[in-house]
Amino acid sequence: MNAVILAAGEGKRMRPLTYERPKVMLPIAGKPIMEHLLEEVKRAGIKNFLFVVGYHDETIRDYFGNGADWDVEIQYVTQKAQLGTADALWRAEKLVEDKFLMLNGDTIVSADDIKRVITGDITLGVIEVTNPEEYGVVETEGAKITRIHEKMREPPSNLINAGVYLLDENIFNALSRTPKSKRGEFELTDSIQLLIDEGNRISWQKIGRWTDVSYPWDLLAANELLIDRISTDIKGTHEENVSIKGKILIGEGTLIKSGSYIEGPVVIGKNCEIGPNCYIRSNTTVGDNCHIGNAVELKSSIIMGNTKIPHLSYVGDSVIGCRCNLGAGTKIANLRFDNAHVKAKGLDTGRRKFGAIISDGVRTGINASIDAGAIIGNNTLVGPGAFASGHIEQNSRIL
């Protein structure tokens, strides 16, 4: 059986983190979202993959190659213009046969759930949520689906489309007849509704574990969920007087210097320099080639590769992109005085503790301060002693 993974989109709600990479390549617990998904599909017994790529496709192709490092086989097709999920799947028509698994590349489901979906007839994986108005909702009658809705204010059920499908060749006939939606895209859910309206039986299977990442702050919740499943594996080295508690992954070539205190679960990548005298708290992921230095405290954050936080800084409940450099004394606030949920881009993050989203190439001067809920675009400079707040566009100067 083939697994078709749709990974052509940018993920506009994830901006500014997706200016240089597709959403599926954002890191969670030390791996891109799409790698977590690939590993679960492989555990379910499927080793033949077809990736539908488009936006910054070179990022995916360079990382996964032909799949040999994961003991799977990967083929690629390109969706040059992002015209919707139906258009993306259409690109795979000549490369799949019989029944095949199809997944959205920006969600993570378990191998056990995948096995349940692929053992029956044509099936859609669904999950019950408390906020169905934010997703595509499914109506059912017994074991079959009767209707799939796009987002709606008053959904008829709490069952939503989880983006996990068992399909066959009939879907391609429906794709060829699917009109553009109100959003100006060709929607796969419209194609499936065509099949249902024509009397085809589409079953549903409830799944138990589902990780959805829609907005930048959702990366933190997903990181907390997945990092808790790691097992300790220390491939780097550490000097004397280093304290390591709980589960921790440390990559090859990484040095933990004296006085550093690490409370797992924590993931630290390859070729990093950690310490001396830093404090890395639980649910933190540090990418490859990073420097976390003296008197720095990290808490429940994602630090992407090639970033430097060398002196006297605090980063809590935040996502820091690649190639950032935080000057000495940079502090990120992560709690409002009234203890209410932090807002970002005018949206409720649902988090009482949330720091900032700092995209690739951002630099701060000494004693810079960043407000809770700040979103800072690529290559922005926050000068010495400056205060950054709200939504800041890329290439800005805050002085």
Annotated catalytic residue 291: no
Coil, helix or strand at residue 52: strand
- pLDDT tens, residue by residue, 301-317: 999 999 999 999 999 99
The mean pLDDT of the chain is 93
Considering the chain, tell me which residue range(s) the CATH 2.160.10.10 domain(s) occupy: 224-398
Annotated catalytic residue within 149, 291, 311, 391: 311
Per DSSP bridges, beta strands 343-344 and 347-348 are antiparallel
Residue 74 near residue 65, CB atoms below 8 Å: yes
Give the predicted TM-score (pTM) of the model: 0.92
Amino acid 141: pLDDT = 87
Residues 6+ apart with CB under 8 A from 180: 84, 186
Q: Does residue 151 carry a pLDDT above 80?
A: no
Amino acid 142: pLDDT = 87
Amino acid 98: pLDDT = 84
Amino acid 336: pLDDT = 94
Amino acid 15: pLDDT = 95
CATH class label, 224-398: mainly beta
Considering the chain, tell me which residue range(s) the CATH 3.90.550.10 domain(s) occupy: 2-213
Closest CA to 107 of 185, 218, 217, 249: 218
- pLDDT tens, residue by residue, 344-383: 999 999 999 999 999 999 999 999 999 999 999 999 999 9
Q: Does residue 185 carry a pLDDT above 90?
A: no
AA letter at 386? A
Q: Please, which pLDDT band fits residue 52 given cuts at 50, 70 and 90?
A: very high
Per DSSP bridges, beta strands 387-388 and 331-332 are unpaired
Q: Does residue 135 carry a pLDDT above 90?
A: no
| 326 HSE (CA, 13 A, CB side) | 32
Calculate the CA dihedral of residues 7, 10, 12, 18 and round it to 10 degrees. Answer: 110
Q: Please, which pLDDT band fits residue 154 given cuts at 50, 70 and 90?
A: confident
Distance (Å, whole) CA 155 – CA 133 = 6
Q: What percent of the chain has pLDDT over 70?
A: 100
Residue 382 near residue 371, CB atoms below 8 Å: no
Which of 53-62, 149-158, 192-201, 247-256 shows the lowest mean pLDDT across its residues? 149-158
Residue 315 near residue 333, CB atoms below 8 Å: no
- pLDDT tens, residue by residue, 159-177: 898 989 999 988 998 898 9
CATH class label, 2-213: alpha beta
Amino acid 211: pLDDT = 83
Amino acid 361: pLDDT = 98
Mean pLDDT, rounded, for 178-202 = 86
